[in-house]
Structure 1
Amino acid sequence: MSNYIHVPPGSPEVPKLDITVSEREGPGYRQGALQLLRRLRPHWRPEEVTLQLFTDGITNKLIGCYVGDITDDVVLVRIYGNKTELLVDRDEEVKSFRVLQAHGCAPQLYCTFNNGLCYEFMQGEALDPEHVCNPDIFRLIARQLAKIHTIHAHNGWIPKSNLWLKMGKYFSLIPTEFADEGVNKRFLSDIPSPQVLQEEMAWMKERLSNLGSPVVLCHNDLLCKNIIYNKKRG
């Protein structure tokens, strides 16, 4: 991970819309999604728009928007989870998205809004663990990741890792206890203490910092469901 992302010159600007989409299912998020679509797909008739909620996200809510039975043009609306901005720098996320898009490694980013972003739906299948054990598929994944790692997104700067800064920030967010007695009991019994985790991080930092491994652009959220496989395209 590096601490400076430079968007290539000539990359299309991404509109930032002053719209907030409710996280709650029902009329709330439909109304917000339709507000976005009035800007992104003004020719769509609101009463004909179908919203499909995807349930595979861990921290975000993802909604697919399309008209009728036609799924060739689907707008994805991603609503950020509550307080996830404490973990994710949203401005840097958008920059990274634009860099990857410029190199053909990400879908088109249509816009951002107050609590999320909209982007192109990519046809294909979100993978499961058994898929990534398939040699034909994991070789494709490896090639795509290698392509991402070779992207120079620092405008001549020598990139420096922000791994330890991020890890330190995550540690500062670790709770010391939970109000729910059952949850708190599991937390204290199953999770190593902050002191143990800090010692492990210090051990990792000492050894990894001396390996001389190059700092490259990374995905950093490589869950199986974040990998889309299109069998026709390969």
Structure 2
Amino acid sequence: MAKMHAIHANGSLPKPSLWHKLHKYLTIVKTELITKASNRRFCQEVPSLELLEQEVAWLKEYLSPLGSPVVLCHNDLLCKNIIYNEIKEHVRFIDYEYVGYNYQAFDIGNHFNEFAGVNEVDYSLYPSRDTQLQWLRHYLQAYKQLSRENQGNGGGVVSDKELETLYVQANQFALASHFLWACWALIQDKYSTIDFNFFRYARLRFKQYFKAKSVVTALEMPK
């Protein structure tokens, strides 16, 4: 992941795809799924369109100032998109459908969310603080060594402040991951031919979003 994030864009600084994609998905939900609003099951189990709009606005206002750099992201690093060759001892990513420039912390937070699985979602599998810090330290060491602006400037040395900052950023951006894939699943529920309960998955992601919101927003950036 650090190797991918360290690929630099040529020309102007890239903009994060997160807000455009969130607004795009929400627009589809509003315009294409509005007929479902009269369905009691839909109304009872999915947040109202008004609340969804409020949350998207809040996410942008809350997450944008966190200072997470915009980098080249995979944006969909669930476990099935990561291939480990045990014999050659190397890792490869597959499925680049959603690749694009986005917040570094979104890609990491999204990956942590995916520890819970897809078919049988279990958020008790979300990595603990200790596991995250170990992961993030290795990531930052590699990212700093690979990034041009850090060459010859401390190498891969990671300070406790840098580590804690990324920990807070990743966990708070994980909220946007929940919200994005919940809206995506609502759209898939209507249009996809894949044999999967997308509506149930959307409900699970919205539920986890609201459950995690108060917890991760209580995290404070290091001084």
* Higher relative contact order (Cα pairs below 8 Å, separated by 6+ residues): 1
Query: Larger helix proportion, structure 1 or 2?
Result: 2
TM-score higher than 0.5: no
Range class of TM-score, shorter chain? 0.3 to 0.5
Give the TM-score normalised by the residue count of structure 1. Answer: 0.34
Give the TM-score normalised by the residue count of structure 2. Answer: 0.36
Bigger radius of gyration, 1 or 2?
Answer: 1
